[in-house]
Structure 1
Amino acid sequence: MELKNRITQVFNSQKERKYFQKNTTAQYRIKKLKAVKKYILDHQTEIESALKEDFSKAPAETLLTEVMPVIAMINLTVKKLKRWMKPKRISSSLLFFGTSSSISYEAKGQVLIISPWNYPFQLNLYPILTAFSAGNTVMIKPSEYTPQTNKIIGKLISEVFDENEICLFEGEVEVTNILMEQAFDHVFFTGSTSVGKIIMEKASKHLTSVSLELGGKSPAIIADDFSLRTAAERVVWGKFVNAGQTCVAPDYILIHKDRSAEFVTAVKEQIENRYGNQFTQNEDFCQIITQRHAQRLKDLVQDAKSKGAKVLFGGHLFENRKFEPTILIDVNESMQVMQEEIFGPILPIVTVDSKADMVKFIQRLDNPLAMYLFSEDKEVIEFFRQNTQSGGLGINETLLHVAHSRLPFGGAGKSGHGRYHGHEGFIEFSNQRAVLKRKFDGKMSYFYPPYTEKLKALIDMTLRKLNYFF
């Protein structure tokens, strides 16, 4: 009861502030963003230590995948926010003679952000700061699996913001349920598709708009014209960074059957080059977040083996929750590893006879959050672009489209809806208010009742000549 009362108290205090927050200036918001940036840079070592303690993440990887995207986002927003906040003038046709039109970008209001554990620093602060930049108040529920990272984010928030602007609540599913009872203006959720459905259902009780950043099985397609060594190098980076616990990691490989053996050899070489062969002691390869998550990965491998798959590399779960990078061949769609998002360092290799077979395989599955295509052939690239659908498309690279702060990020279909990052993020957390102002009499009164025969004839003529009015 105490927790529920506390959440209600903060929600109500943010509700009272909502219209003040909506009308804060660009200068006010930019000042806060700069304070966040300063705090991050001043406490860099503490951030690195927090991620290290939560799941043994290498400091360099923390800076590269957690801190750098947030700093890039702040830099871009500081540079562009004044322009983003300005109303956008809309041209008017002759039909609207005597009026001016514009779109006013206004805060949605009170925003709830429910964030995941896999990139706990980036995936908390990125949407928090984006929502704040659009003039919203924010309540955050981070994952309970990363307590040390949550602690430093909580300190940052309490130092830079008042709690009626931004407030963090830790806890398990009970906290999420209490938060979802409140009538927020917008909910932003990052996590699994199954939980996303629950969030969307709960939000519907208040007709609250929802952004869902989910996941799916993101394929990596190796076309016949592309260097296997280069493809292997880039796939190994994208797949095994963060021990595969990345929503846009390459989930499986699609490759022609005649090239698969050589590709597997190249992947093995890259794994050994990057991580060596002593994974329990390797400081660059992080842990699986919990023992339960690690056991799930082990079960996926066992299920695949029981149905005919072969493990060509790795497959071991160690006592310190480190799961060895694993390559599977001879996989099929009856295996759990090919039915659900893997979210770990397991790489199935699917062999086919043609690029048409690759497309058919992708089309049988739900739309993924990302798709990766390795080809220099423009016709091949266009073939896959036209015949598939995904939230993002990386050509000859993995993950980088997500790091690009000027590109929109989001899913398609069951991998999510809504977009954020850069200007698209500002729009996602804004109400695009249509504004039309009558500046002088344009004689619209001619079209008011009573609807005489003469007026009907005028409307008929206008309808036939409508194209001349635009």
Structure 2
Amino acid sequence: MLQEIFNEQKTFYQTNQTLPVTYRLKQLRQLQLFLTECEDELLLALNEDLGKSSTESYLSELGVLKHSLTYTIKKLATWCKKKRVSTPIFLFPARSYSVASPYGNTLIISAYNYPVLLALDPLIGALAGGNVAMVGLSEQTRAVNRVLMTKGQSYFDRHLVYFYESNQRQNQLLLTQAFDKIFFTGSPRVGRLILEAASDKLIPVTLELGGKSPALVTESADVELAASRIVWGKFLNVGQTCVAPDYCLVDKKIAKKFQTLVKLKISEFYGEEPAESSDYGRLISAEKVNQLGELLCLDAPFVCAGGELVPEKRYIEPTVLMAPIEQELATMSQELFGPILPILVYSELKEAEAYIASRTAPLAFYPFSNDKTEIRHLLETLNFGGATVNDTVLHLANPNLPFGGFGQSGMGRYHGKYSFETFTHEKAVLERKNYLTLKIMHPPFSNWKERLVRLLLK
């Protein structure tokens, strides 16, 4: 079936029907219509799969998509225009420009943690770029998949967009096909496998991965503000966010105050019984709860808040640990992707810098400080994908900023115009006139030609 769809899409793309801007805009408006007409079903599905409230689902998925579509529809005609550039005098008479061209057959593989957003946001870029797309949905989000594969599919011809529930076998099959572009969101482990498979055919790949993104709270920070914003970013979607602050580094002079405020903010946001809060979601599976539970057991002496686990309900209480920076915690051995916040206490800022620099480059970085010199130094010297200063997560909400990783946290970027650029190839074109041939470039060469060439090519 998937082979048949791939062939259909390849044949359709070769008709050039996806090239006109009017056609692309029509498809983007179809996606817009789907999000509007099926909003209630999507919100219910997100609640079923991840226990998310309708407000959080709209804030972090549907609303973001609607804004992205509005922005892309408004800007697309401009993005598709030729970009004229100057031409050096030695190439006259000529004009130079670049033009964005679709890749063609694209494969988008999304992740379970934001199953609507991570499937459809790259699709916006693919459609805007004039491509056809197969969109793989995580097999762990069955309720969302039902909506996308039935209702969502009805808004598109399958030779243009096709939604399918992906698994390892299907993805292995598709990775043998000659796609023109692959876009993957998920773990670094799977990302490496996809990159390896794509390399055999030299298929360009964008990888949106993850890692342990740090929040760094310095002595000069507004401690209460930092606690509030870190708790929000950490426990949004119960920590199942690729750019969530995975752990926190805090100056020892403010560590106790910060710990107290973090616990207070958790209570303010989710009440004394988070399990009963409609604003506190659920993990994707009991297996994930058990996996994080094993790490917590190893770090039990450092747990200072939370720690309750109910695997059959996919629940972990908001949990906080605190330890000195030199302590080797099990929870620091891998990306957590859950509602557990290790707080590491440092004595000197250079300790915290060295700690971050010694690890693989994170997808995101969150420095909290009221010292502009400190902030500038941290942003310049540390490697990371993107940053929000004195807050968390929000840099990815600005469509004018690129979103992507660095090193093992990913390669490539998207959002806004960057999504369009990710799904297009920029062709360079130089148009020569049919008169005034520069014969100095043609043999036979002579001394005077060499002198003139040296004069022009300084």
TM-score (norm: length of structure 1): 0.94
Aligned to 2:384: 390
Aligned to 2:97: 102
State the Cα distance separating 1:454 from its structure 2 match. 4.0
Which of the numbers 314, 320, 333 marks the counterpart of 2:306? 314
Which of the numbers 315, 326, 341 marks the counterpart of 2:319? 326
Does the Cα contact within 8 Å between 1:373 and 1:395 map onto a contact in 2? yes
1:284-303 correspondence to structure 2 within 5 Å:
284-303=279-298
CA distance in 1, matches of 2:46, 2:122: 19
C-alpha distance after superposition, 1:393-442 (max 9, x if no partner): 10011111112222110001110010100011100100100111102434
State the Cα distance separating 1:452 from its structure 2 match. 3.6
State the Cα distance separating 1:214 from its structure 2 match. 0.4
Deviates more, 1:426-435 or 1:395-404: 395-404
Which of the numbers 154, 161, 169 marks the counterpart of 1:159? 154
CA distance in 2, matches of 1:462, 1:33: 48
Q: Secondary structure at the match of 2:429?
A: strand
1:168-317 correspondence to structure 2 within 5 Å:
168-305=163-300, 309-317=301-309
Aligned to 1:444: 438
Which of the numbers 340, 344, 354 marks the counterpart of 2:348? 354
* Runs of at least 5 residues in structure 2 that lack an aligned partner in the other structure: none
- Deviation >6 Å, runs of 4+: none
Aligned to 1:3: none
Does the Cα contact within 8 Å between 1:333 and 1:339 map onto a contact in 2? no
CA distance in 1, matches of 2:111, 2:367: 27
CA distance in 1, matches of 2:65, 2:223: 33
CA distance in 2, matches of 1:281, 1:12: 49
State the Cα distance separating 1:296 from its structure 2 match. 1.1
CA distance in 1, matches of 2:16, 2:241: 34
Does the Cα contact within 8 Å between 1:22 and 1:109 map onto a contact in 2? no
Letter in 1 for 2:4: Q
Compared with structure 1, are the counterparts of its residues 365 and 22 closer, same or farther at alpha carbon in structure 2 (3 Å cutoff)?
Answer: farther
Does the Cα contact within 8 Å between 1:217 and 1:251 map onto a contact in 2? yes
CA distance in 2, matches of 1:190, 1:431: 21
Does the Cα contact within 8 Å between 1:255 and 1:352 map onto a contact in 2? yes
Compared with structure 1, are the counterparts of its residues 171 and 35 closer, same or farther at alpha carbon in structure 2 (3 Å cutoff)?
Answer: closer
Letter in 1 for 2:231: V
Which of the numbers 368, 373, 382 marks the counterpart of 1:379? 373
1:77-96 correspondence to structure 2 within 5 Å:
77-96=72-91
Does the Cα contact within 8 Å between 2:318 and 2:339 map onto a contact in 1? yes
Compared with structure 1, are the counterparts of its residues 104 and 221 closer, same or farther at alpha carbon in structure 2 (3 Å cutoff)?
Answer: same
Letter in 1 for 2:226: A
CA distance in 1, matches of 2:36, 2:451: 70
Compared with structure 1, are the counterparts of its residues 310 and 21 closer, same or farther at alpha carbon in structure 2 (3 Å cutoff)?
Answer: farther
Aligned to 2:12: 17
Letter in 1 for 2:28: L
Compared with structure 1, are the counterparts of its residues 351 and 425 closer, same or farther at alpha carbon in structure 2 (3 Å cutoff)?
Answer: same
* Runs of at least 5 residues in structure 1 that lack an aligned partner in the other structure: 1-5
CA distance in 1, matches of 2:4, 2:439: 50
TM-score (norm: length of structure 2): 0.96
Letter in 2 for 1:224: E
Letter in 1 for 2:367: L
Does the Cα contact within 8 Å between 2:188 and 2:408 map onto a contact in 1? yes
Q: Secondary structure at the match of 2:57?
A: helix
1:358-369 correspondence to structure 2 within 5 Å:
358-369=352-363
Give the number of equivalent residue pairs.
Answer: 456
Compared with structure 1, are the counterparts of its residues 22 and 254 closer, same or farther at alpha carbon in structure 2 (3 Å cutoff)?
Answer: farther
Does the Cα contact within 8 Å between 1:21 and 1:165 map onto a contact in 2? no
Aligned to 1:128: 123
State the Cα distance separating 1:453 from its structure 2 match. 4.1
Q: Is 1:63 matched up with 2:55?
A: no
CA distance in 2, matches of 1:356, 1:160: 54
Q: Is 1:399 matched up with 2:399?
A: no
CA distance in 2, matches of 1:324, 1:372: 24
State the Cα distance separating 1:447 from its structure 2 match. 1.1
State the Cα distance separating 1:143 from its structure 2 match. 0.4
Q: Secondary structure at the match of 1:406?
A: coil
Compared with structure 1, are the counterparts of its residues 459 and 335 closer, same or farther at alpha carbon in structure 2 (3 Å cutoff)?
Answer: same
